[in-house]
Amino acid sequence: MDRKTFLRQAAALGLGAGFFTTLLSGCSKEYLTTLGDFDVNFDGKVLIIGAGAAGLTAGHLLRQYGVDFEILEASGNFGGRVKEISDFAEFPIDLGAEWIHTDPAVLSRLINDPQVNADVDLITYQPETISLWKDGELKRRNIFSHFYSEYKFKRTTWYSFFADYIVPNIADNIRYNSPVETIDYSGTGVTVRTNNGYVYTADKVLVTVPVSILQKGLIDFIPGLPTNKTDALDRIDFPDGIKVFISFAERFYPDLTYIGGLGDIVSGDDKIFYDAAFRKDSPDHVLALFNVGESAAEYTSLGSDEAIINRVMEQLDEIFDGKASQHYQNHVIQNWSAEPYIQGSYSHHGSGMDDIISTLLEPLDGKVFFSGEALNEEGNTSTVHGAGESSFPVVKRMLQEV
Amino acid sequence: MKQLTLISLILGLGLHAGLFAQSNSLQNTLTAGYFSQLGIEPGVSLGADIYVSTDLFSSSTSAQHHLVFQPQLAAFTNPENFQSALVRGGIALRRTTERKGRLRFRQLGVGLGYMFHSEITGLRVNLADGSITSKERDNRQYVVPTINASMGRMLNDRLGYYLSASYGPKLHAERKPDGAVFLELGLSYSLSPSK
């Protein structure tokens, strides 16, 4: 089903919205804002694989609609590629996804609760001092600031957003340290086995793991994934990714330093050093490396954190005339490629993105569904909000179908 | 206080030039147009072209050269990031020619501006409905000397259009200078009929 068809059908079903509120006790009309009005025809159990942004959002919506569900998370914590360190600097730091790449109103849509009584402070992330490091020369290019603007959390993080507003509603339903080995949908329901010997059964399963896990076959599907899905998975690039945060006694760097030329920026091979304390109203000086793409392998392949920080410091000293070593205080490294249940950064879609996503979103036998950062049918891939929003239509479809 | 002095200087020069020009009964114009930083941060501009001195270099060609004073008030914005206002005065050497009975001009000039810039540095977002409940701002003032190139032509005896581009550093006491590029496209209205 393509998106237009989906929207048409959703609108048609919306005509019966008045009937909806009588179906589920505890599901008040204010929860209809994000998914729109529709009839809920499903009253079984859902298993969600993965407690990242997509899985948490899906669980949150299912809770709001009163549907029975469990979330199986492979690691010992929720968040997936949303992760925080709170004791490195005077402000909490996002070790994973950090920017809000869209209208901040998306935060409200993810929470989907008009009764929530809270505000969140954001910064407008429009770096004012921008440099390019290319051919051994640091060149000021502040003019780029006119073409780039996003948002960030000011004194909180993406992680704390989920921790404060999403997870409390679903914490009892998350099963940590439960890496899924097999998803058997050959019977009437779905049977899921984890590598610690537990077996879960459900009527429907929502798979939200990173596409790298599916690409590498780390979850066995019974029957196997159809060829059109494996082909679509092969067409998604999921490159290496790393973030390194370094605290310094003094600031000697611009708000943003691009490594490479404009061609590298456009190609999606992002390597930047940025002031992580930008507009955070903090006395701390924290410079961060964000590197996603082929060039990230320069660090992720080094094998040890010590080798990585040495390499980063060498480069910073070269760029900033030795000031990095002079003012160095501390560092923290988040090597996403080395995370066993992530194994990379985030999806990069080439040509035919719409076809890839629509192929992967098609459920298996009406029982196994997919959502996640790589599967946002609106095109908002590679983002936290896109991951969360990717679960909206999938949850709606799961609830509409018997 | 410095800002007031600078604005007063710019406007005072304009007034002086305007009085001088009136004595020469020249075809001064009012201008209004689309004003932008880099063409992408939109705004509006109001200004005037006040002839200070005409026919500077006598020549046998049909071209004439004039000195024009140009006071200007402009505002532009990137709604999510900032609002700015610019008060500027400039002096330009204008070369006019006549073609098909209508005046055209090209000019080069220099100017001095005072820019008030209000940067939106933060937002408070209500999580219930996504509305922005408050904005945090960083207000700054810049002195902006500019060089300028313009061209235009009359469409009839009163109305004309012009294109203009200016470049200059934004000077701030505590910041390194940043380049500013202003682009304009507007209409001019002659206070008295021209050819």
In a domain, residue A115? The reply is no
Position A281 scores a pLDDT of 95
pLDDT confidence band for B95 (50 / 70 / 90): very high
Based on the fold, state whether residues A357 and A382 are members of the same structural domain.
Answer: yes
Binary contact (A124, B124; C-beta < 8 A): no
**Residue ending a domain, choose from A312, A338, A364:** A338
B24 in reach of chain A (CB within 8 A): no
CA dihedral defined by B80, B81, B84, B90, rounded to 10 degrees?
A: -110
A279/B130 CB distance under 8 A: no
Q: What's the predicted TM-score (pTM) here?
A: 0.87
Using an 8 Å Cβ cutoff, are A310 and A324 in contact? no
Name which of B5, B138, B29, B49 is nearest A123 in CA terms.
B138
**Residue B54: pLDDT band with limits 50, 70, 90:** confident
Task: Indicate the number of domains in chain A.
Answer: 2
Number of Cβ pairs closer than 8 Å across A and B?
A: 78
Please judge whether B38 and A143 are an interchain contact, meaning their C-beta atoms are less than 8 angstroms apart.
Answer: yes
Determine contact: A154 vs chain B, CB below 8 A.
yes
Residue scoring higher pLDDT (B64 or A217): A217
Among A296, A314, A338, where does a domain finish? A338
Is residue A81 a part of any domain in this protein?
A: no
Tell me the pLDDT of chain B averaged across its residues: 87
Task: Give A113→chain B minimum CA distance, Å.
Answer: 6
B44 C-beta neighbours (distance < 10 Å), count: 16
The answer to whether the Cβ–Cβ distance between A149 and B121 falls below 8 Å is no
Range of the domain at A373: 3-76+163-236+348-400
A58 and A204 share a domain?
yes
Specify whether A219 is located in the same domain as A308: no
Residue burial A149-176, b: 16+ Cβ < 10 Å; e: rest? ebbbbbebbbbbbbbebbbeebeebbee
What would the mean pLDDT of A323-348 be, rounded to a whole number?
97
Domains of chain B: residue spans and CATH: 2-190 (2.40.160.20)
The B residues from 134 to 193 touching A (CB cutoff 8 Å) are 176, 178-179
CB atoms within 10 A of CB A188: 8
Mean pLDDT of A41-55: 97
pLDDT of residue B21: 43
**Residues composing chain B:** 195
Structure confidence at residue A79 (pLDDT): 98
Question: Which residues 7-46 of chain A have a CB within 8 Å of chain B?
Answer: none
**Residue A270 Cα distances to A123, A148, A150, A175, B7, angstroms:** 22, 14, 16, 34, 44
Q: What's residue A261's pLDDT?
A: 73
- d(C-alpha A339, C-alpha A333), whole Å: 12
Residue A18 binned pLDDT confidence (cut-offs 50, 70, 90)? very low
Task: Assign residue A61 the CATH number of its domain.
Answer: 3.50.50.60
Judge whether A295 lies within some domain.
yes
Residues A121, B121: C-beta atoms closer than 8 Å: no
Q: Which token pair is B113?
A: 């501006």
Chain B contact for A215 (CB, 8 A cutoff): no
Residues with Cβ within 8 Å of residue A202, at least 6 apart in sequence: A44, A45, A46, A47, A69, A70, A189, A190, A192
Of A338, A362, A388, which marks where a domain is finished? A338
Question: The complex's ipTM?
Answer: 0.85
- The pLDDT of B181-187, averaged and rounded, is 97
Q: How far does the CA of residue B124 sit from the closest CA of chain A (Å)? A: 4
**Do residues A288 and A330 lie in contact, with contact meaning Cβ atoms separated by under 8 Å?**
no
Phi, psi for A41 (deg, rounded to 5): -110, 0
Domain-embedded: residue A67: yes
Residue B59's pLDDT is 64
Residues A252 and A333 both lie in one domain: yes
Average pLDDT on B138-150 reads 97
Closest CA to A392 of A189, A63, A109, A200: A109
Residue A174 has pLDDT above 90, yes or no: yes
- Looking at residue A34, its pLDDT comes to 78
- Asked if residue A116 is part of any domain, the answer here is no
pLDDT in tens, B114-142: 999 999 999 999 999 999 999 999 999 99
